[in-house]
Amino acid sequence: MKQIASGLKPLNKLKIVHRDLKLSNFLLSDDSENPIIKICDFGLATQKKSQEQNLMFDTICGTPIYMAPEILKGQKYDARADLWSLGTILYELLVGSPPFKGKSLAELVEKVNKGSYLIPTSVKLSEECINLISGLLKSNPDERFTWDCFFNHPFITEPDSDEEIKEESEASEIDSQKISFIKKVSQEKAAKAIRDNNC
């Protein structure tokens, strides 16, 4: 998540709103133990002009399970919609599944609007991590963390403690599974792009 934040910071300064942040739109640079995460697929992205301070959008776009409530409800939205997507991504990376799911779009919208989700007791998260997820997954965008809050949140800015490093070492197998999962999604996306372009 720290790498993702690092990649989004310059985009935020340029007032670029991605509008389709999701796991499959993050690619790994290589197969090393410390791959670099890269953000891709800016097909739905848009950029505010310098004189537009509070520009709102009304185009419904994105991937439903990552879309902010305001988009799903057909309301106008702004860059805070990307923050909701980040909360969904962070939750999914740590828990293994999205925070909101539904058998139909209507059911998904209902759950997202309620904004209630559970973190399984089997998943041990730090207070900082839980606070970040909670701040990003606020159904009301006015209550959601701002970009400054996200970039300066302790979970993003603080270096890993010795205890965290130890826990990460003990959970290396789980970490490998997460990396394999992201790689698989990235490979599937690349294959689809090749098929779509008849390469």
Q: Which of 20, 30, 41, 148 is catalytic?
A: 20
Tokens 């990552």 sit on residue = 66
CA distance 83 to 93: 15
Per the annotation, the verdict on 20 as an active-site residue is yes
Residues belonging to the active site: 20
